[in-house]
Structure 1
Amino acid sequence: MSRAIHVFRSPDRFVAGTVGQPGDRTFYLQAVHEARIISVVLEKQQVQILAERIGALLEEIHRRFGTPIPPEAEQVNDLSPLVMPVDAEFRVGTMGLGWDAESEAVVVELLAITEGEFDESVVLDATDEGPDAVRVFLTTRAAREFAARSTRVISAGRPPCPLCGEPLDDQGHLCVRTNGYKRDAELSKSLDFIDPEVFNGLTDGPPLLGDDENPPSDDPGGDSSDDPDAGPEGGSR
């Protein structure tokens, strides 16, 4: 059976969006043209990578071909949610980016995840063999707007911990930076989100490496030795 390739050459809308609450969000990309709507599900990291790569591709196009490229969008014009209900066509595995010089369009290709390997030459190709795909053509301005909205969608999740950068949530946050290696950090802003148990023992027990370069000696004279062969004066018996 030949694969399905959903092509949008002039989409009315191509956006990233989510369903669910922060901490439990599912990420989607959705292409819309008139009454036709195709959605695919993917990981948050894939959305972030795609937005970053689109920005890099636009800069490279301008450098190599002199094509006018709009500046990075300072604000997001399309803040509307995804068209509901969201029915994912497939989960994204491989993503591809290209440049169509004839139409001066960025080409985004999203391929369905597969159990086995496949020939990567099928990316941005019309061959019948390979995973199902969604192929979207974007003007340079639409590509900028897609990247800007994607960045905003990603940052709209749980706020990051000011120490380790991991997302905070209402159920508690076990911060890896509260193990004593950064005691002079400002903790007050994140105390409500950190499990109090991680603070137990921070001031007890032996000093951590770097806490005290010259720990005090138990012997006032400073000549004690654990060598079993040492005599009263520190020499050999």
Structure 2
Amino acid sequence: MGPVPQTVHTFDWPDRLVIGTVGRPGSRTFYLQVRAGTRLLSVALEKEQSAALVEKIDELLDELMDTEGNRFSVPERVPAELVDNDALDQPVEEQFRVGIMGLGWDPSTAQLVIEAVPAQPVDPQTLEPVGPEPEEALVVRIPVGAARAFAERTREVVAAGRPLCPRCGEPMDPDGHVCELPDDLR
């Protein structure tokens, strides 16, 4: 990554960190939302980014659990008191749309570190970023139990989209679906 962004929204041990959606299945917008006291910040991201983040969180937590002599007590299951199925906090105001996300581990505080920077326009020929470096970033630090709860909720949110067509496997809209399978496969 290039120069350090001018504004870094940092949340250490936030009161709440969730991914939720706004809109109907098929046209949902995904948000990563973090709250600490009265501070509330929401960033928009893609469904695929949400799913990839959870996959990486699970991998990291499982790796920590399997590490010989690991002094961090990583829960295998979500502690019941950390389950959060509530809707996003209102108002949902998009701070920025996420371009790149990073995930790390801070052994000094036994926390996962999630970083997100805004999407940048890219040159269609070279796929290199064009324009100025992002001016802001989001950094969230959460303990392992909260990370398990965040991952489980996010998996449920990602899976709660449109049902898949039993024939072609594509998502079906509430108002109908045109199956794109060739005639010989129907």
The TM-score, its normalising length taken from structure 2, stands at 0.84
**Higher-RCO chain (CA-CA 8 Å, sequence separation at least 6):** 2
The answer on whether the counterparts of 1:72 and 1:148 sit within 8 Å (CA) in structure 2 is no
Shift of 1:103: 0.4
**Is 1:15–1:146's contact at 8 Å kept on the other side of the alignment?**
yes
State the secondary structure of the residue aligned to 2:184: coil
**Whole-angstrom distance in 2 between the partners of 1:135 and 1:111:** 9
Matched, 1:42 2:45: yes
In structure 2, the gaps of 5 or more residues are 123-127
Aligned residue among 48, 51, 56 for 2:54: 51
Partner of residue 63, structure 1: 66
Q: Which residue of 2 aligns with 1:17?
A: 20
1:119-158 aligned at under 5 Å gives the runs: 130-158=134-162
Counterpart of 2:78?
73
SS where residue 176 of structure 1 aligns?
Answer: coil
Deviation at 1:130, TM superposition (A): 4.8
- Identity among equivalent positions (%) equals 43
Q: For residue 67 of structure 2, give the secondary structure of its aligned residue in structure 1.
A: helix
What CA distance in whole angstroms lies between the structure 2 residues aligned with 1:22 and 1:57?
Answer: 30
Which of 79, 97, 107 aligns to 2:103? It is 97
Q: Is the 8 A contact 2:118 2:134 kept in 1?
A: no
Where 1:169 maps in the other structure, the secondary structure is coil
* CA offset digits 1:118-157 (Å, max 9, x no partner): 6xxxxxxxxxx75521110011010000010001111122
Provide the aligned length of Structure 1 versus Structure 2: 172
Deviations 1:84-129 (A, max 9, x none): 11111100000000000000000011111112556xxxxxxxxxx7
Is the partner of 1:90 in helix, strand or coil? strand
Q: Secondary structure at the match of 1:165?
A: coil
Equivalent pair of 1:113/1:131 in contact (CA under 8 Å): no
Between the aligned partners of 1:9 and 1:74, the Cα distance in structure 2 is 20
Give the 3-state SS of the residue equivalent to 1:161 in structure 2.
coil
SS at match of 1:57: helix
Q: 2:75 touches 2:148 (CA, 8 Å); kept in 1?
A: yes
Amino acid in the other structure paired with 2:102: G
The answer as to 2:66 corresponding to 1:84 is no
Q: Which residue number corresponds to residue 169 of structure 1?
A: 173
Instruction: Report Cα offsets for 1:17-61 as digits up to 9, x if no partner.
Output: 011111211110000001000100011111111111100111122
**Bigger-Rg structure (1/2):** 1
Query: Which residue in 1 is equivalent to 2:34?
Result: 31
AA of the residue aligned to 1:11: P
Question: Alignment partner of 1:114: what SS?
Answer: coil
Contact 2:34 2:40 in 1 (8 A): yes
Cα separation, partners in 2 of 1:2 and 1:107, compared to 1, 3 Å? closer
- Other-structure match for 1:114: 120
Local SS of the residue matching 1:142: helix
After superposing the two structures, state which structure 1 stretch, 163-172 or 94-103, moved more: 163-172
> How far off is 1:3 after superposition?
2.0
Distance 1:145 1:24, change over 3 A: same
Unaligned runs of 5+ in 1: 119-128, 184-237
